[in-house]
Amino acid sequence: MIASQFESGPKIATSSDATAIASPASSGSSVSGRLRSAAMNGSSLQATIAFVGKGGSGKSTTLTNLAVIAAQAGYTVGIIDCDPQRSSFEWQRVRNRTDIRVCRCGESEIEQNIALARRCGIEIVLIDMPPGARHALAAARCADLVIVPTRPTLFDLRVTHSIVQLLRSTQAAYAIIINAAPPRRRDGDAPAVREAREALAPVARRVWPRQITHRLAVVYATLSGAGVAEAEPAGVAAQEYAALWNALSADLNLIAGVQNVP
């Protein structure tokens, strides 16, 4: 258990589209209602967002880029890394800054680390789940919103289908993000993305209408422990992640005088 990482910062850790995409109204409980209740009870924690998907789907890259944008928007951000590959944790070690705190723990310790984050004044908690569909239920239990990144490939879509079946059984709020996609064409989505959207048609209202495109700028930013919004703030990749953050903010009805990212 390395919960002290949230309290002391990461150096101690040695062991534009703002359209809502996962309507809380369709869930068993209201996401925005829970967040408002937390605020009224004096908690600084505004949202917990879990990322679950097939290995290699880009969930850690999506998470770290959104963490940077959330921090730029004025939120205090913490990451709970439950992935055995420790991608988010290692990203922070390369980053070597204390602006985004990261702790790593087992899946059974998520709840107590969320409670610790609340005590430490963290406002946005992002949870990097282990890869695979079987972790979707744990993500649904601990998060206000579950993000499911998927590449537009057969293998990714099969795992995404299994994840969606589990999330639907819990009535969890979730959103599917088409990630590492081929660039859009003049006439719209690339064929692979178009086919992925067709495969996801039964849950189309949970699929973000935009995409995160595969770009080397994202790869290079990650290697340096940065977000693409820091490395190339005026670039198209940064704009895509900013649009995704704005959509999630709309979904979660985030409370604070923080503006959407341009």
Residue 258 belongs to some domain of the structure: no
**How far is residue 18's CA from residue 42's CA, in Å, rounded to a whole number?**
27
pLDDT at 2: 32
Residue 17 belongs to some domain of the structure: yes
pLDDT tens for residues 9-46? 432 222 233 445 554 333 333 343 343 344 334 568 99
**How far is residue 75's CA from residue 124's CA, in Å, rounded to a whole number?**
7
Helices (H) and strands (E) in the chain, counts: 11, 6
**How far is residue 233's CA from residue 142's CA, in Å, rounded to a whole number?**
32
Closest CA to 196 of 238, 243, 149, 241: 149
Under the banding of pLDDT at 50, 70 and 90, the label for residue 253 is confident
Q: What's the domain count of the chain?
A: 1
Residue 198 belongs to some domain of the structure: yes
Asked if pLDDT for residue 258 goes beyond 90, the answer is no
Asked if pLDDT for residue 204 goes beyond 70, the answer is yes
Residue 12 backbone phi and psi in degrees, to 5: -80, -15
**How far is residue 197's CA from residue 207's CA, in Å, rounded to a whole number?**
8
Asked if pLDDT for residue 170 goes beyond 60, the answer is yes
CATH number, position 133: 3.40.50.300
Average pLDDT, the chain: 85
pLDDT at 254: 79
Residue 261 belongs to some domain of the structure: no
Residue 131 belongs to some domain of the structure: yes
| Mean pLDDT for the stretch of residues 146-170 | 97
HSE-up (13 A, CA, CB side) for residue 5: 27
Residue 86 belongs to some domain of the structure: yes
**How far is residue 26's CA from residue 18's CA, in Å, rounded to a whole number?**
19
Would you list the DSSP string of 76-112? -EEEEE--TT-HHHHHHHHHT-SSEEEEE--GGGHHH
In terms of C-beta density within 10 A (0-12 exposed, 13-18 middle, 19 or more buried), how is residue 99 classed? middle
pLDDT at 16: 37
pLDDT tens for residues 49-105? 999 999 999 999 999 999 999 999 999 999 999 999 999 999 999 999 999 999 999
pLDDT at 22: 55
Structural contact between residues 175 and 147, judged by C-beta atoms closer than 8 angstroms: yes
Residue 28 belongs to some domain of the structure: no
Asked if pLDDT for residue 5 goes beyond 80, the answer is no
pLDDT at 40: 36
Tell me which residue range forms the domain holding 173.
4-21+34-250
Report pTM.
Answer: 0.85
Percent of the chain with pLDDT over 70: 81
The residue length of the chain stands at: 262
Residue 257 belongs to some domain of the structure: no
pLDDT at 7: 45
Percent of the chain with pLDDT over 90: 79
